[in-house]
Amino acid sequence: MDTLTNNTTATTAGATVEITASVLNGVRDVSVLNASVVVVVTALALSAFDAGRTFLNRILWFFDRLLGGAPHTVSLPGPPGLPIVGNLFQLSNGHVPKIAEWTKKYGDVIRVSLGEREAVFVNSHEALAKTIVQQGPAYQSRPTFKLFHSDFASSGIWTVGTSPFSERLTRTRKALSSQIAPRLLPVYTPVIHPKLKKLFAEILTISQGPPVDMAEKLHRFGTGQVSEQLMGTPLDDDMVGMLAENETNIFRQRTIGSPARDYIPLLRGAGWIRYSLGKALGIMNWSYDEKEENARAYRKKQQVYINKMLGGLKERIESGDQTPSILGNILRQGLLKEEEVLLASYTGIAAGVNLGYSLTWIIGYLANRPDLQQNGYEAIRDVYNDEAPLPHDYDRVEYVRALHLEGSRIYTPVRLGFPRQTLQGASYKGHKIPEGMLVIMNLMAGNRDPVAFDRPDEYLPERWLQGRKGRTDTYEVGGEKLGVTHLTYGCGRRVCPGIDMANRGLYSTLVLLLHFFTWERQPLGEEEKKHVFPPFRAERECSLEMDAIGDTATPTEAQAIPWSAGIKFHCRDPEALKVWIASAET
């Protein structure tokens, strides 16, 4: 009986506890439900007013920021993004078209969230002038990124174009600029001339075979040419090949929005945990990060050739060599300290990379424009009669100058420039842009801006002829010569100091090519596809029009590299070319 009573009591107590728990749960559920209803109703009510929406956004931004999203310090309009990642992945199908879409919707200066980084994108010619140029001192720093500034170059010596504002940067930029000033450039022509002869001898040989893709030759020519002017001595082919490939790989690390972990702290945390677990458990591919390992390998390789080249230059100087060269002059005049000399060296070696790709785009485009080739040929004949043009007689043939200026504008090989960071507060149309803000200069948009350039998507050399600047419709004989310059080399305080050097490289190559050759597009054969550089370009061939957007193989990278393009050259007069190659003239 007692047992029965005890059991009954226990059962009753158990049931009571269960009932109480379920009542409490019910109450809690009702409270949660009520609270949720209150939150939703309040949110809906708030969202009906501007001030309410702002308040709600601030709450969301607060939690987003806690999880590693970007701050919201700028009131400029811009695309809404996802929590934590912001707009980062919206850029992953191609920078230029997506930013053009945003510009259309939100205006020419917009706020964008790139993971934890807040950024301002400047997307028109006028807006670039009003910000980067007119408020120059505020926009003169550069941001740092983990992959490039830490994994690749942990020594703290990067390049001038990737260095934040500092005294070391200013001194090095000044010294470098003084040695590539337009009036000094002719002293380096004895170094460049043999490179031109070598390139044209190669093109003569190529013209006797099947069509080829020219990027490797032009890239080696561009990078080699700048490096040799830097060091004042010819570099052997293997060295130039290795250097051109490595510097392309290094430049490709300077991509806005990639790798994602440079922008998303949670990804960095996850990567660190995976790495530590991999180490502890001996799981090799967990403790291996391909991008980081590649970055270190590129730097190691780079240090070998920089040290070799710099060591050689110092030895030559010690033994009394007086050959003019950019770094040689800097060393002889004692313009820089040791680490600044290194900074200048890394900068100079990297600087030629864009020259090769500019030439690849322009020559590829002209292959399908026999009319422009013919105009160029005749313009050269008007100046030099039937003599070979002097390649270093810079911009003497106005039409060739117009061809290279227009090619640089229309293709803009560094589409988003090199990223900037504000050094002090700035503003745009009443919106404050605080110190430390990442600023992206959309040079491609500036160069295709219909307000600055009429018929902006057409390749019109005329816009640079007879004193015109960028426009075909604002010039009258004896009238005003209005217009603007193109923005391919950036603008403002950190504008490219190598503009004249780059333009000379484009002019000298084009003037000789137009004089000695005609060329056309033809499909690449299977064998020739194997030699396309870098190899990923062989996956497709550019359209005949060489569309700057549709034919870019690297739409999300710092540098716009075209897909492959088969070119067949025809030499107008092989004997005359051989005579030019054999001549001692520079």
Phi, psi (degrees; rounded to nearest 5) at 114: -110, 85
Instruction: Point out the annotated binding site for heme.
Output: 496
| Residue 138 binding ligand HEM, by CB under 6 A | no
Decide whether 394 or 418 has the Cβ nearer to ligand HEM. Answer: 418
- Closest by CA position to 410, among listed 94, 96, 122, 134: 96
Q: Stretches 147-155, 253-261, 495-503, 570-578: which one binds ligand HEM (CB under 6 A)?
A: 495-503
| Residue 355 binding ligand HEM, by CB under 6 A | yes
Decide whether 88 or 326 has the Cβ nearer to ligand HEM. Answer: 326
Q: Which residue blocks in 282-397 are alpha helix, DSSP H? A: 290-318, 326-332, 338-351, 353-366, 370-384
Among 407, 498, 562, 566, binds ligand HEM (CB under 6 A): 498
Decide whether 259 or 413 has the Cβ nearer to ligand HEM. Answer: 413
Scan residues 212-231 and list those touching ligand HEM (CB under 6 A).
Answer: 226
Q: Stretches 40-48, 65-73, 399-407, 491-499: which one binds ligand HEM (CB under 6 A)?
A: 491-499
Is it true that the peptide bond before 413 is cis, omega within 30 degrees of 0?
no
Eight-class DSSP state of 84 = T
Decide whether 90 or 360 has the Cβ nearer to ligand HEM. Answer: 360
- Give one DSSP letter per residue of 2-23, joined into a string: HHHHHHHHHHHHHHHHHHHHHH
Max distance between CA atoms of the chain, in angstroms, equals 129
Among 143, 497, 555, 562, binds ligand HEM (CB under 6 A): 497
Q: Stretches 233-241, 449-457, 485-493, 538-546: which one binds ligand HEM (CB under 6 A)?
A: 485-493
- Closest by CA position to 327, among listed 117, 338, 257: 338
Q: Count other C-beta atoms under 10 Å from residue 493's C-beta.
A: 18
Decide whether 191 or 226 has the Cβ nearer to ligand HEM. Answer: 226
CA distances from 318 to 171, 306, 313, 328, 348 (A): 24, 18, 9, 11, 22
Q: Stretches 182-190, 456-464, 486-494, 575-583: which one binds ligand HEM (CB under 6 A)?
A: 486-494
Q: Stretches 40-48, 286-294, 386-394, 487-495: which one binds ligand HEM (CB under 6 A)?
A: 487-495
Quick one: which H or E segment has residue 576?
A: helix 574-582
Is the C-alpha dihedral spanning 77, 79, 81, 87 positive or negative? negative
> For the window 260-299, what string marks contact with ligand HEM as x by the rule CB under 6 A?
----------------------------------------
The SS3 assignment for 469 reads strand
* Cβ at position 231, least distance to ligand HEM in Å: 12
Quick one: which H or E segment has residue 99?
A: helix 95-106
Decide whether 289 or 500 has the Cβ nearer to ligand HEM. Answer: 500
Eight-class DSSP state of 148 = I
Q: Stretches 22-30, 380-388, 475-483, 494-502: which one binds ligand HEM (CB under 6 A)?
A: 494-502
Q: Stretches 26-34, 248-256, 349-357, 464-472: which one binds ligand HEM (CB under 6 A)?
A: 349-357
| Residue 179 binding ligand HEM, by CB under 6 A | no
| Residue 417 binding ligand HEM, by CB under 6 A | yes
| Residue 422 binding ligand HEM, by CB under 6 A | no
Decide whether 504 or 529 has the Cβ nearer to ligand HEM. Answer: 504
| Residue 414 binding ligand HEM, by CB under 6 A | yes
Among 46, 100, 495, 553, binds ligand HEM (CB under 6 A): 495
Among 369, 448, 494, 537, binds ligand HEM (CB under 6 A): 494
Query: Is the distance from CB of 424 to CB of 496 less than 8 angstroms?
Result: no
| Residue 447 binding ligand HEM, by CB under 6 A | no
| Residue 348 binding ligand HEM, by CB under 6 A | yes
Q: Is 434 left (phi over 0), alpha (psi -120 to 50) or beta?
A: beta
Helix, strand, coil share (%) of the chain residues, nearest 5: 55, 10, 35
Decide whether 538 or 560 has the Cβ nearer to ligand HEM. Answer: 560
Quick one: which H or E segment has residue 569?
A: strand 567-571
- Closest by CA position to 364, among listed 578, 195, 212, 252: 212
| Residue 160 binding ligand HEM, by CB under 6 A | yes
Instruction: Point out the annotated binding site.
Output: 496
Scan residues 500-519 and list those touching ligand HEM (CB under 6 A).
Answer: 501-502
Decide whether 354 or 508 has the Cβ nearer to ligand HEM. Answer: 354
Among 95, 98, 173, 392, binds ligand HEM (CB under 6 A): 173
Please, what is the end-to-end C-alpha distance for the chain in angstroms? 122
Among 244, 437, 491, 571, binds ligand HEM (CB under 6 A): 491
- Give one DSSP letter per residue of 181-218, joined into a string: -TTTGGGGHHHHHHHHHHHHHHHHHHHTSS-B--HHHH
With vertex at residue 113, the alpha carbon angle to CA 110 and CA 117, rounded to the nearest 5 degrees, is 115
Decide whether 124 or 354 has the Cβ nearer to ligand HEM. Answer: 354
Decide whether 133 or 273 has the Cβ nearer to ligand HEM. Answer: 133
Among 372, 496, 513, 514, binds ligand HEM (CB under 6 A): 496
Quick one: which H or E segment has residue 323?
A: none
| Residue 335 binding ligand HEM, by CB under 6 A | no
Among 189, 253, 329, 354, binds ligand HEM (CB under 6 A): 354
Q: Stretches 88-96, 144-152, 346-354, 524-532: which one binds ligand HEM (CB under 6 A)?
A: 346-354
- CA 75 to chain CA centroid, Å, is 27
Query: Is the distance from CB of 349 to CB of 302 less than 8 angstroms?
Result: yes
Q: Stretches 40-48, 72-80, 303-311, 352-360: which one binds ligand HEM (CB under 6 A)?
A: 352-360
Query: Is the distance from CB of 172 to CB of 160 less than 8 angstroms?
Result: yes
| Residue 180 binding ligand HEM, by CB under 6 A | yes
Query: Is the distance from CB of 428 to CB of 76 less than 8 angstroms?
Result: yes
Q: Which residue blocks in 369-486 are alpha helix, DSSP H? A: 370-384, 398-411, 443-447
Paired tokens of 429: 């149309």
Is the C-alpha dihedral spanning 549, 554, 558, 561 positive or negative? negative
Which residues in this chain contact ligand HEM in the complex, by CB under 6 A? 160-161, 173, 176, 180, 226, 347-348, 351-352, 354-355, 358, 413-414, 417-418, 488-492, 494-498, 501-502
